[in-house]
Amino acid sequence: MHEMALCQGMLELIDVQRQKDGFERVRRIIVEVGALGHVDPHALRFAFDVSAADTVAANAELDIREIPGRGWCMDCSREIAVEKRGDGCPHCGSFTLIMQQGEELRLKELEVV
Instruction: State the residues that interact with Zn ion by CB under 5 A.
Output: 73, 75-76, 89, 91-92, 94
Shortest Å distance, C-beta 70 to Zn ion: 13
Q: Cβ closer to Zn ion: 9 or 93? A: 93
Q: Cβ closer to Zn ion: 64 or 76? A: 76
The secondary structure of the chain, three-state, reads CHHHHHHHHHHHHHHHHHHHHCCCCEEEEEEEEECCCCCCHHHHHHHHHHHCCCCCCCCCEEEEEEECEEEEECCCCEEEEECCCCCCCCCCCCCCEEEECCCCEEEEEEEEC
Q: Cβ closer to Zn ion: 65 or 91? A: 91
